[in-house]
Amino acid sequence: MREQIEGSQAVARAVALCRPQVVCAYPITPQTHIVEALGARVKEGSLAPCQFINVESEFAAMSVSIGASAGGSRAYTATASQGLLFMAEAVYNASGLGLPIVMTVANRAIGAPINIWNDHSDSMALRDAGWVQLFAADNQSAVDLHIQAFRLAEELSVPVMVCVDGFSLTHAVEGIDVPDQESVDSFLPPFVPRQRLDPDEPVTIGAMVGPEAFTEVRYLAHARMRRALDLMPVIAAEFAAAVGRGGGGLVEPYRLEGADLVVVAQGSVIGTLCDAIDELRDEGISVGALAVTVYRPFPVDAVRAALAGARRVVVIDRALATGEGGFLAADVRRAAPAGTPLHGVIAGLGGRPVTRASLRRCLEEASRGLLGELAWLDLDTTLIEKELAGLPGGTDVHAGPHAG
Amino acid sequence: MNIPFAITLDVGSSLANKTGNWRVERPVYVDRLPACNQACPAGENVQGWLYRAEEGDYEGAWRVLVEENPMPAIMGRVCYKVCETSCNRAQLDEAVGINAVERFLGDEALRRGWPFAPPAKESGKRVLVVGAGPCGLSAAYHLRRLGHTVTIVDSERDAGGMMRSGIPVYRLPRDVLTAEIDRILDLGIELQLGTRVSNVEKARAEGGFDAALVAVGAQLSQRAEIPAGDSARILDALRLLRSVEDAEPLRLGRRVAVYGGGNTALDAARTARRLGATDAVVVYRRTRERMPAHDVELEEALAEGVQVRWLSTVSRADAGTLVLEKMRLDETGFPQPTGEYEELDADSLVLALGQNTDLSLLEDVAGITVDDGVVQVGPDLMTGHPGIFAGGDVVPGERTVTTAVGHGKKAARRIDGWLRGEEWRPAPKHELASFDLLNTWYYSDAPRTVRPQLEPARRRTTFDEVVGGLDETNALFEARRCLSCGNCLECDNCYGVCPDNAVVKLGPGKRYQIDYDYCKGCGMCVAECPCGAITMVPESI
Amino acid sequence: MPTAPVKFYQVGSFAAGNRLIDPSLRTVQSELTRSNSLTSGHRACQGCGEALGARYVLDAAMRASGGRLVVVNATGCLEVFSTPYPETSWQVAWLHSLFGNAPAAASGVAAALRSQGRTDIRVLAQGGDGGTVDIGLGALSGMFERNDDVLYVCYDNEAYMNTGVQRSGATPPAARTATTETVGPEPGNVFGQGKNLPRIAMAHGIPYVATATVSEVHDLENKVETAMGIHGARYLHVLVPCPLGWAAPTNQTVHLARLAKETGIFPVLEARDGEVTAVSAIRHQVPVEEYLKLQGRYRHLFRPEPRTEVIARIQAAADANIARYGLVSDDATEPPAGGAP
Ligand SMILES: Cc1cc2nc3c(=O)[nH]c(=O)nc-3n(C[C@H](O)[C@H](O)[C@H](O)COP(=O)(O)OP(=O)(O)OC[C@H]3O[C@@H](n4cnc5c(N)ncnc54)[C@H](O)[C@@H]3O)c2cc1C
Ligand SMILES: Cc1ncc(C[n+]2csc(CCOP(=O)(O)OP(=O)(O)O)c2C)c(N)n1
Ligand code: SF4
Ligand code: SF4
Ligand SMILES: [Mg+2]
């Protein structure tokens, strides 16, 4: 049943439907509403026997989740930004141990300068930490992806991070269809851990592995991750069958048929992007979009297939590999058919709105071949030039949307 | 569980990693010689029987004890306890009351009628033992248990030697003495009393004995030339003591002086008190520190009202009075006359100046050497005459019941070997379990149990036994004060402190074993063994 | 056995076992059936106090929980020497996650067990002093403050041993470590630093805090047993001498632990709900030199010249402990089953 609710509340309800057994988190904007809602459910008893643990840091939150998962329970946590980095060591540890923890990252910029608003810097920083990363384009997909995330994590014994844009999704009230318990139960069986701490069957979990076997350990982790690419479409299909609605999969195409220009993006920018594409199509520009849902492992084949007909590719990144460019762009470049011109666009950093108008402008330029290899959406060039003038090396830096 | 590769491991799999090859030294369990065992003139396995007693297994303890000494009830009363003097526990608080526990075991055995185990088989050999004192009795016991036929011959009316004719009844009740002697004789030993042997070789040959032991003690009192008036009453201590035994006590008068400084002197003085003397004064040439009598004996005597004139000699005896000369000690500690005199009222003077041997039974025997009044023997106690052995007071050494018992055992074992034609070889001794080898932290602090003593007032008038025994609780307590020096006491400490679980516990009574597959040779078990029963030895690489 | 109880038992309760006392009074370590939770074949140095302490603690905890135990271990020597692939020395259900998160991971395990209704299974977390007083302190404090049902055991060897003996917040003054070398005007670790974690734990008001050493296994086991009988956050701080880091002979580990207590340098105590409830009396008080001179990390206090004023400062600290906790007063508890009748 479709209701108007805040994204965070919807995510909390989706997580609750998955019957987590341990929820542990540390507050950080914009993740707070999700865990507050879960905390309330545990406290009122509606989520019994789930345990909700208030900890002293994100490092502890992930560590508690590790313990809980190793203890054989379905474990969930949520964080963002500084919090994700604060738990980084444990993030790697969870995947290294093969613990199927599900974590929401309410995407937010990373300081300094401290900034509470949305971008993808946090998830990108830990994109290769051995976790599956799923990016929600809207709150409906946020809901659906969380439910699928548990299934995927537990089938593979790999942790899954569901990336939901801070504020623009977490705090947005939308019409969302949250499935009922019965359909979720039919889709997501109770957690059967691959290994757990059990006095009846004691094992040593977390041994020290030296050069003689470390490569093999990593290879096996790699192989399990790659299996996510096969599994995710299957899971998405089963999810659709269970709840009577699609959602998920590796990538989500939008009006790709006959598109000369394909825009690749992830997260909440997809909605605005689709609106801009509709307008551009109306104006006769043949443009389509590809939303990357599974970002890690990167679905190279699916992306390549989607880009097969493209003459030109634009990749929108809501994060910056400083001094380099976009993360997604780098990945797409790998997948794009050889010789296809590719423009990276850095957009929406630290919560700057990505407006339909700006996107239209940018895509129009792209369709006319005027966009450089790396472009910056809505960059204040006057300011930049003034600042750069004071730098050693002068203004000899390409800047602005038209820069090459 | 389908466990992930390498990250997750099956428990206990490190047993495949044999860390024993790290070792440069290895711990080895040893049995070291406890100081008490080493000191005991009777060669008792003191630590061994205490170990049993600690567990409350008194019969077991007694049986270990009587492997070496058949008379624990007597030893527990008359022994001078050199074991306690050397006891390591003395360096911690006070020596273990070994002798008191021994007496408890001895008494317990008599009370319960525990018999000795009979000999396993008969050897067909016959041995003559001359003298039924502690040496002769001990030898007879051991010889009999080794399967030999033994005949003891003694000139007295009763067996016991000086234990009966010398040691006063208040120190050694005669029922105890008789009971322990009877138990020895019950092994099937022939005893001929009232028979004086005048030539031991002749007696051996005539009796058809394969070997003989001379254990006739020192029966003659040492005389002293003291100018004396006609009516002066002078007698010797042995006569006095024997007269009590014979139930015809001598009349000594109210004031009795005893001349001498040994235990015999004190026994005589204490006996005099019991016979009615109001004053019993020991006259001794030197000081208290130099007195050969044991301190306890002196303490007991003083407590009973015996007085001592230190640094005095008797220079003249008259009826009712003695003239004493004062002495002083020279640089070498020898007493020198001062020329100062004093008088002491005394109705009689008892001489307790030592005993001499009567070795007439050896006079015509070939090969025998007598020096300084004692028979010369080898370390195996054989005299110069093959097949004739000697022990106890007749040979050089300490003159104590304990030494005599030890000689008896040693002679018996040697006679046994000799009869079987074996070469004599001294038994190898274990390394001494000295105090520095102990880790005394582990022992509970516990001072010694004091044996109950008769009220001194009662002692003065009766011949009741002065020193009481321990009750069971006290005996057990006392036994448990033993540190078990050098011998595993199964405290599980090595098993506990090994960081590598390389000590294997074999179960009660079976001790432990090192698992050299895993022992890294840290030496912790050695350092933390309370009793020094483990040692480190270098690995031969 | 006699009817009158004889309370004096030769080695009393000082040794691991004692054939003369009632089996119920013997230690778990003395028993054939102990679980050897940390079994042979581990790669700890010869005479490692941590290996010893861990087996003492876990075997006692296994006994107390009827074998229903799971263990979470911080990074450090204990973890490294026990679990190099392909062999593990643990014979309990065991998890190693990170250096600084053992308390939190343990909280997670406890939460999981609670959510599964498997409350018969008990959780024990353990780590070295570095993992406990330094990098793991935040997580530990959180676990304490939430009163999570975890017994946390710190094996204090007074430095970061696994990385090569660097100073930790538990390194004592004057001790040489690789980061407090014996150079300069104040050689070794400086005075006036460091933290007392048992007291920090007590300040959390958790139900049970205790200290112990590897030299008194009865006491240590009693404390583990007591702790296991309580639910909520519990803390046990065990002094475990390290022959390598302390530069001491490998056979002196237990002896050094004993001296640490007997000098007053390491007070052995028990606290409930934030208040000290019992202290172990010093049995044979010894001056701190006796303790210091056995250890190479204090060699500079004796050679080339004795640095008596530094030794006096260490003695003063020991004396302060003795005064603070009444370690030589009559109130101090006697070791059980060790006294005279
Ligand atoms: C008063 C006194 C108190 C003592 N108190 C103690 C004490 O408390 N503790 C201690 O350890 N020691 C004590 N002693 C010493 C101890 O009694 C002797 O050292 C010990 O008895 C010597 O034992 P033995 O077997 O060599 O000789 P004895 O005990 O003297 O026995 C020798 C036996 O041989 C017999 N005999 C002698 N000649 C012949 C012969 N020709 N034919 C047949 N039989 C013969 C004798 O009648 C006697 O029975 C004491 C001695 C005396 C005199
Ligand atoms: C986050 C992190 N920082 C540093 C280390 C390196 N490290 C591993 S073990 C260790 C020292 C452990 O010291 P302690 O906890 O006292 O245990 P010990 O080895 O002394 O038993 C250090 C610093 C690490 N593994 N993780
Ligand atoms: S304590 Fe263990 S490792 Fe050390 S020497 Fe003894 S048996 Fe060997
Ligand atoms: S360095 Fe110390 S704590 Fe580490 S294994 Fe060696 S002795 Fe044990
Ligand atoms: Mg340490």
Residue A394 binned pLDDT confidence (cut-offs 50, 70, 90): low
Sort out which chain B residues have CB atoms less than 8 A from A98's CB and list them. 4, 7
Q: Kindly write down the DSSP assignment for every residue of C121-136, as one continuous string.
A: SEEEEEEEHIIIIITT
Q: What is the pLDDT of residue B228?
A: 87
Contacts of B18 in chain C (CB under 8 A): 41
Query: Where residue B423 falls among pLDDT bands split at 50, 70, 90?
Result: confident
Residue B274: its H or E element? helix B263-274
Element (H, E) at B166: none
Contact between chains at B493 and C41 (C-beta distance less than 8 A): no
Give the CA angle between residues C20, C22, C23 to the nearest 5°: 105
Which atom belonging to ligand 3 lies closest to the Cα atom of B524? 1
C127/C57 Cα distance (integer angstroms): 12
Residue A170 has pLDDT above 90, yes or no: yes
- pLDDT number for residue B451: 67
Residues in chain C closer than 8 A to A22 (CB atoms): 108, 111-112, 115
CA dihedral B289, B291, B292, B298 (to 10 degrees): -100
Report, as an integer, the average pLDDT of B312-321.
93
Q: How distant, in Å, are the alpha carbons of A385, B138, B242, B305 from that of B168? A: 124, 21, 9, 17
- Model pLDDT, residue C228: 98
Residue C14 lies in a domain: no
Please give the ipTM for the structure prediction. 0.95
Residue A248: predicted pLDDT: 65
Q: Could you tell me if A278 and A263 are in contact, meaning their C-beta atoms sit under 8 angstroms apart?
A: no
Q: What is the mean pLDDT of residues B104-110?
A: 97
What are the structure tokens assigned to A132, written together? 């599956």
The label of the residue with tokens 């109001």 reads B278
Give strand ranges (E) for B250-319: 255-259, 279-283, 307-309, 312-318
With beta carbons under 8 A apart, name residues in chain C contacting B54: 10, 20
> pLDDT tens, C91-146?
999 999 999 999 999 999 999 999 999 999 999 999 999 999 999 999 999 999 99
Structure tokens at A335: 């997948």
Please give the helix or strand (H or E) that residue B470 lies within, else none.
none
C105:A56 CB<8 A: no
Query: Which residues make Cβ contacts (< 8 Å) with residue B435, sequence separation at least 6?
Result: B35, B88, B91
| Tens-digit pLDDT profile for residues C165-191 | 999 999 999 999 999 999 999 999 999
Q: What is the pLDDT of residues B7-65, one digit of tens each?
A: 999 999 999 999 999 999 999 999 999 999 999 999 999 999 999 999 999 999 999 99
Distance CA C244, CA C273 (A): 36
**Integer Rg of chain C from CA:** 20
Give a yes or no: residue C65 inside a domain.
yes
Give the residue, by CA position, lying nearest to ligand 1 atom 48: B161
Q: Between chains, do A203 and B1 touch, taking CB under 8 Å as contact?
A: yes
Q: Which of B445, B498, B488 is nearest to C217 (CA)?
A: B498
Q: Interface partners of C (3+ CB pairs, < 8 Å)?
A: A, B
Which pLDDT score is estimated for C7? 66
Question: Is C40 within 8 Å of B491 when comparing Cβ atoms?
Answer: no
Question: In whole angstroms, what is the distance from residue B536 CA to residue B532 CA?
Answer: 11
Residue B297 has pLDDT above 60, yes or no: yes
Chain B residues in contact with C90 (beta carbon < 8 A): 11-12
Facing residue for A195 by CB, picked from B4, B6, B11: B4
What's the C99 CA to ligand 2 centre distance in angstroms? 6
Residue identified by tokens 């809901």 is A143
Neighbours of chain A (3+ CB pairs under 8 A): B, C
* Chain B adjacent subunits, 3+ CB pairs under 8 A: A, C
Helix, strand, or coil (residue A334): helix
Residues A185-198 as b or e (16 or more Cβ within 10 Å = b): eebbeebebbbbbb
Domains and CATH numbers, chain A: 2-243 (3.40.50.970), 251-382 (3.40.50.920)
B449 and B470 Cβ atoms separated by less than 8 Å: yes
From A45, A39, A43, select the one nearest A8 (Cα to Cα). A39
Name the amino acid, one letter, at C307: R
Q: Which residues of A touch C66 (CB under 8 A)?
A: none
Instruction: Look at ligand 3, atom 8, and give the residue with the nearest C-alpha.
Output: B519
Q: Within 13 Å and on the Cβ side, how many CA atoms surround B158?
A: 16
List the one residue out of B293, B258, B265 whose CA is nearest residue B279.
Answer: B258
Work out the minimum CA distance from A161 to partner chain C, whole angstroms. 19
As a whole number of angstroms, the distance between CA B458 and CA A84 comes to: 93
Residue A174: is its pLDDT beyond 70?
Answer: yes
Q: pLDDT per residue over B251-289, tens digit each?
A: 889 999 999 999 999 999 999 999 999 999 999 999 999
Torsion sign (Cα): B296, B297, B298, B302: positive
pLDDT surpasses 60 at B112: yes
Of A67, A202, A207, the CB nearest to C83: A207
A20-29, A222-231, B312-321, C315-324: segment of lowest average pLDDT = B312-321
Q: Above 70 in pLDDT, residue A397?
A: no
Mean pLDDT, chain B, integer? 94
B520 lines ligand 3 (CB under 6 A): yes
Instruction: Count residue pairs from B and C with Cβ separation < 8 A.
Output: 188
Q: Which domains, from first to last, does chain B contain?
A: 13-31+488-538 (3.30.70.20), 35-115+433-458+468-479 (1.10.1060.10), 126-220+356-419 (3.50.50.60), 224-351 (3.50.50.60)
Judged against a pLDDT cut of 70, whether residue A399 lies above it is answered with no
Best probe residue, ligand 2, of C45, C48, C75 (max atoms within 8 Å of C-beta): C75
Specify whether the backbone of C187 is left (phi greater than 0), alpha (psi in -120 to 50) or beta. beta
> pLDDT value at position B1?
59
pLDDT 10s digits, B184-243: 999 999 999 999 999 999 999 999 999 999 999 999 999 888 988 888 899 999 999 999
Helix/strand/coil for B421: coil
In a domain, C314, yes or no: yes
Region of C3 (left: φ > 0; alpha: ψ -120 to 50; beta: rest) is alpha
Domain of C288, in residue numbers: 33-333
A386 CB-contact burial (10 Å; exposed 0-12 / middle 13-18 / buried 19+): exposed
Q: Provide φ and ψ at B382, rounded to 5°.
A: -85, 140
Query: Is the pLDDT confidence value at B333 over 90?
Result: no
Query: Touching check for A203 and chain C: CB below 8 Å?
Result: yes
| pLDDT higher than 70, residue C335 | no
Question: Are residues B10 and A204, on separate chains, in Cβ contact within 8 Å?
Answer: yes
Of A12, A287, A247, the closest CA to residue A138 belongs to A247
pLDDT > 90? residue B456? no
**pLDDT at residue A403 is higher than 70:** no
pLDDT at B246: 82
CA distance B22 to chain A (A): 21
Q: Which of residues 157-216 of A touch B (CB under 8 A)?
A: 157, 194-196, 201-207, 209, 213, 216
- Which of B164, B401, B405 has most ligand 1 atoms within 8 Å of CB, for mutation? B401
What pLDDT does C6 receive?
59
Residue A346's alpha-carbon distances to A379, A402, B293, in angstroms, are: 9, 13, 110
Q: How many CB pairs under 8 A join A and B?
A: 47
Q: What pLDDT score does C332 carry?
A: 47
Q: How far is Cα of residue B294 from the mean position of the Cα atoms in its chain? A: 14
CA–centroid distance, C159 to ligand 2, in Å, is 9
Alpha helices in C204-307 (DSSP H): 217-228, 243-246, 253-263, 288-292
For the record, the structure tokens of B305 come out as: 């009202």
Which residue(s) pair with C210 in the sheet? Answer: C236, C270
Atom of ligand 4 nearest to the CA of C44: 5
Please report the pLDDT score of residue B312 as a whole number. Answer: 96
* A65 neighbourhood in chain C, CB within 8 Å: 108
Which ligand minimizes its atom distance to the CA of B196? 1
Number of domains in chain C: 1
What's residue A247's pLDDT?
64
Helix count and strand count (H, E) for chain B: 18, 22
A265-274, A323-332, A391-400, C56-65: segment of lowest average pLDDT: A391-400
Give the pLDDT confidence of A178-223 residue by residue, as tens digits: 999 999 999 999 999 999 999 999 999 999 999 999 999 999 999 9
The SS3 of residue B243 is helix
Residue C3 in this model has a pLDDT that exceeds 60: no
The answer to whether the CB of C160 is under 6 A from ligand 2 is: yes
Q: Is residue C49 part of a domain?
A: yes
Question: What is the percent of chain A where pLDDT is above 70?
Answer: 97
DSSP secondary structure letters along B83-150: HHHH-GGGGTSS---HHHHHHHHHHHHHHHTPPPPPPSS----EEEEE--SHHHHHHHHHHHHTT-EE
pLDDT tens digit string along A68-100?
999 999 999 999 999 999 999 999 999 999 999
Task: Please state, in angstroms and rounded to a whole number, the distance separating the CA atoms of residues A342 and A322.
Answer: 19
Q: Which pLDDT band holds residue C4 (cuts at 50, 70, 90)?
A: very low
CB spacing of B1 vs A207 below 8 angstroms: no
B72 neighbors B66 (Cβ within 8 angstroms): yes
A67 close to A40: Cβ distance less than 8 angstroms: no
Q: Whose CA is nearest to atom 4 of ligand 3?
A: B522
Residue nearest to atom 20 of ligand 2 (CA): C161
Give the model confidence (pLDDT) of C205-223 as tens digits: 999 999 999 999 999 999 9
* B9 and chain A in contact, CB less than 8 A: yes
Look at residue C6 and tell me if it is in a domain: no
- In angstroms, how far is the first alpha carbon of chain A from the final one? 49
Residue C19 and residue B491 in contact, taking contact as beta carbons nearer than 8 Å: yes
| CATH code, domain carrying C125 | 3.40.50.970
Q: Is the pLDDT of residue B489 over 70?
A: yes
Residues 6+ apart with CB under 8 A from B351: B221, B222, B223, B224, B234, B235, B236, B237, B259, B260
- Would you say residue C249 has pLDDT above 60? yes
CA C131–ligand 5 middle distance (angstroms): 8
User: What ligand has the least distance to the C-alpha of B494?
Assistant: 3
Do B6 and A217 lie within an 8 Å CB cutoff?
yes
Q: Measure the CA–CA gap between B6 and A268, rounded to whole angstroms.
A: 40
Picking from A247-251, B107-111, B294-298, which range would have the lowest pLDDT averaged per residue? Answer: A247-251
What CA–CA distance (Å, rounded) separates A321 from A314?
17
